[in-house]
Amino acid sequence: MKNYYITTPIYYCNDLPHLGHAYTNIACDILARYHRLDNKNVYFLTGTDEHGQKVEQSAKSKNTSTKELTDRMSKNFLDLTKILNCTNNDFIRTTEERHKISVHKLWNILLKNDQIYLDKYKGWYSIRDEAFFDEKELKKINSEYYAPTGAKVEWIEEESYFFRLSNWTDKLIEFYNKNPDFVAPDTRFNEVKSFVKSGLKDLSISRTTFNWGIPVPNNNNHVIYVWLDALQNYLSALEFPDTDSKLYKDFWPGTHIVGKDILRFHSIYWPAFLMAANLPPPLRIYAHGWFTNEGNKISKSLGNVIDPFQIINEFGLDEFRYFLFSQVPFGDDGDFSIKALVNRINNDLSNDYGNLVQRVCSFIYNNCNGEIEIIDNLINEDEDLLENSNNIFKFYKECMDKDQIDKAIKFIFKLISLANIYVNNQEPWKLKKTNPNRMKNVLSILIEIIKRIAIMTLPIMPNKSQKLLLYLNFDFQNINFDNYKVIFKNQIKIEKPYPLFPKYEK
C-alpha cells in the first residue's frame, strides 16, 4: 500500500479561525479522503502555531496570558476541524513537549553540521508576518516602511543566531531542477526559483527581545525563530527525532498544502533546513490562492472576516465545501460571495445533482414499488453512458492526483449532465407503458451511474454522498474506488426519496 502524508499550515493562535483557514483544511481533507478511497495509507496533519512575538503581543493586547490565549484559540481551531468534518489523524500544538524535543534535536543537528553561527541582526522585521525583509522589498509610505503583505515593519538590532542559508542557493536550484513538481502551480514555482537565483542571505533564526518561544539549547537568552520552530511540526507529529518510528518511516517526506503567503518559508527555508540537517526535503508544496470577501481583502480592520461556523450553520457544510472548490480554480485567488454560494447550491447542487437523484428515485419509488432490478440486456446508449462514466472517472483521477480539485469537480458534473440527458432521451415514463422491462433496465443503469457519481463526490461532500449511498443500500463504509466500475449485483429496494440538496430560499 502506498503512503500519503498531507499537512495544512499550523495556524497562529492570535485570533479566531476564519474562511481562509477553513479553505486550506477542507482542501487537505478532500485530498486525504480521495487518497484513502484510492487505497492509500493516508496521514493527515493539522494544528496550531503558538509561539512568537505576534501571539505574545496579541495576548498582551487582550489582557490575558499567552498560555490562556493559546489554549483557547487552539481549541477553536480544533473545533473548526470537527465542524468541517476533517479526517485529520493528529492535531499538533507547538507548545507540546513532543514538539520542543523535536525542534531542539533539529537545532542540535544544524549546530553539529556547522550550519549555525552567532552574530548580530540589524534589519527590518514584520511581526504580523513573523518575517525578516530586505529593504529593497519594502514600500515607504510617509516615513514608515511596509512589507509586500501591507504589514508595517520595524527596525530591530539584536544578537542572533544565523542559519547559513546563503550556502544553500545552488543546492536549492539543483534540487528544484531535479524535482519539477516540487512546487505547484508552476507560476508560483517560477517566482520561488527567481527569488532563490537572485541569491540568498543567511537567515536570522533566534530572537532575544521577547521570550514566548522555544529557548535555544544551552542559551536561554534566545528563543528560536518562530518559523524554524513552526515548520518542524511536520516532523514532530511523525515522532521525530525517532527516525526509526513507523510514522516517520511510512510518511516522511510528505505534501504540504499552504496559502501563497507562506510559500517562501515552505519552499526555500524548509528544504534548506532539512538538507542542512541531512534529512529529506518535502515531496511537494501546493500553494493555493487568496480569498477575498465580496471583492474586498479579508481583514479584521475592515470588519469583514467570514466566520465559517456561521456560514455552515446557514448554508450547510457540504454545500460550503462544494462551493469553495467549484467556484475557484485551486491555486488561483478567488472571491467569496453569498450570491455565488446560493447560485452554486441552487444550480449545480439542487438543479443538476439533486434533481437527477430525485427524479430517478421518485420514479422508481412511485412506479416500481421502490425496487431496482439487476442490469441486463444493454443497448448502445447504455454502453455509451457506462463507457463515458469510465472515461470521466479516469480524468477525475488524473486531476485529483495533480491536486486539481476544481477540474475534477467539472468532470463529475459532466457525468451528472450526461445522466440527465440519458433520462430525457430514454423517457422511462413512456417506457412504462410500451416496454416495462426496458424501463427497469434504464432505471437500474441510472442507479449505477448515481452510485458512481456519489463515489466521486465522497471526498468533496462526504456527508451527502454517504447518505446517498446508504439510501441506495450501498455499504459506503467499505466503499473505495475499486467499487466504481463494479456494477451492482443485488436487487435493491429504496424508501421514499428526500431532496438531497434543497434549494436555498430566503
By CB under 6 A, which span of 7-15, 241-249, 382-390, 480-488 interacts with ligand ME8? 7-15
With beta carbons less than 8 A apart as the criterion, state whether 443 and 297 touch: no
By CB under 6 A, which span of 259-267, 360-368, 386-394, 428-436 interacts with ligand ME8? 259-267
Nearer to ligand ME8, 21 or 452 (CB): 21
DSSP helix/strand/coil, 14: coil
Instruction: Give φ, ψ of 211 to 5 degrees.
Output: -130, 15
CA distance 146 to 151: 5
CA distance 366 to 385: 25
By CB under 6 A, which span of 9-17, 96-104, 180-188, 202-210 interacts with ligand ME8? 9-17
Nearer to ligand ME8, 129 or 448 (CB): 129
Smallest separation (angstroms) from ligand ME8 to the CB of 391: 33
Among 4, 6, 9, 30, binds ligand ME8 (CB under 6 A): 9
Binding mask 123-162 for ligand ME8 (x = CB under 6 A): ----------------------------------------
Nearer to ligand ME8, 248 or 488 (CB): 248
Binding mask 10-29 for ligand ME8 (x = CB under 6 A): xxx-------xx-xx-----
Smallest separation (angstroms) from ligand ME8 to the CB of 23: 5
Beta strands, E only, 13-137: 41-49, 90-93, 116-126, 131-133
Smallest separation (angstroms) from ligand ME8 to the CB of 298: 5
With beta carbons less than 8 A apart as the criterion, state whether 126 and 152 touch: yes
Smallest separation (angstroms) from ligand ME8 to the CB of 35: 20
Nearer to ligand ME8, 263 or 357 (CB): 263
- Give residues 213-232 in contact with ligand ME8 (rule: CB under 6 A): 230-231
SS (H, E, C) 446-493: HHHHHHHHHHHHCCCCHHHHHHHHHHCCCCHHHCCHHHCCCCCCCCEE
Nearer to ligand ME8, 290 or 484 (CB): 290
Nearer to ligand ME8, 259 or 329 (CB): 259
Among 291, 320, 330, 363, binds ligand ME8 (CB under 6 A): 291
Smallest separation (angstroms) from ligand ME8 to the CB of 20: 2
The three grid cell numbers given for residue 5, joined into one nine-digit string: 502524508
- Give residues 358-397 in contact with ligand ME8 (rule: CB under 6 A): none
CA distance 209 to 194: 33
Q: What is the DSSP string of 149-208?
A: TS-B-EEEEEEEEEE-GGGGHHHHHHHHHH-TTSEESHHHHHHHHHHHHT----EE-EE-
With beta carbons less than 8 A apart as the criterion, state whether 75 and 235 touch: no
**Cβ neighbours of residue 218 under 8 Å, at least 6 residues apart?**
none
Residue nearest to ligand ME8 (CB): 20
Smallest separation (angstroms) from ligand ME8 to the CB of 165: 17
Among 259, 281, 329, 502, binds ligand ME8 (CB under 6 A): 259
By CB under 6 A, which span of 106-114, 187-195, 256-264, 278-286 interacts with ligand ME8? 256-264
Q: Does 56 bind ligand ME8 (CB under 6 A)?
A: no
The three grid cell numbers given for residue 315, joined into one nine-digit string: 448554508
Q: Does 290 bind ligand ME8 (CB under 6 A)?
A: yes
Nearer to ligand ME8, 312 or 356 (CB): 312
CA distance 228 to 205: 7
With beta carbons less than 8 A apart as the criterion, state whether 304 and 298 touch: yes
The three grid cell numbers given for residue 133, joined into one nine-digit string: 525583509
By CB under 6 A, which span of 5-13, 29-37, 189-197, 397-405 interacts with ligand ME8? 5-13
Alpha-carbon distance values, 323 to 98, 336, 344, 345, 455 (Å)? 37, 9, 6, 8, 18
Smallest separation (angstroms) from ligand ME8 to the CB of 259: 3
Binding mask 294-313 for ligand ME8 (x = CB under 6 A): ----x---------------
- Give residues 32-51 in contact with ligand ME8 (rule: CB under 6 A): 49
Nearer to ligand ME8, 258 or 392 (CB): 258
Nearest to 259 by CA among 288, 285, 230: 288
- Strands 371-372 and 492-493 come out as antiparallel
CA distance 303 to 443: 51
Among 258, 416, 456, 460, binds ligand ME8 (CB under 6 A): 258
- How far separated are the first and last CA of the chain, in Å rounded? 48
CA distance 168 to 189: 17
Question: How many chain residues are in contact with ligand ME8, going by CB under 6 A?
Answer: 19
Q: Does 92 bind ligand ME8 (CB under 6 A)?
A: no
Nearer to ligand ME8, 264 or 397 (CB): 264
The three grid cell numbers given for residue 132, joined into one nine-digit string: 525578516
B/e letters for 201-213, b = 16+ CB within 10 Å, e = fewer, are ebbbbbbbeeebb
Binding site for ligand ME8 (CB under 6 A): 9-12, 20-21, 23-24, 49, 230-231, 233, 258-259, 261-262, 290-291, 298
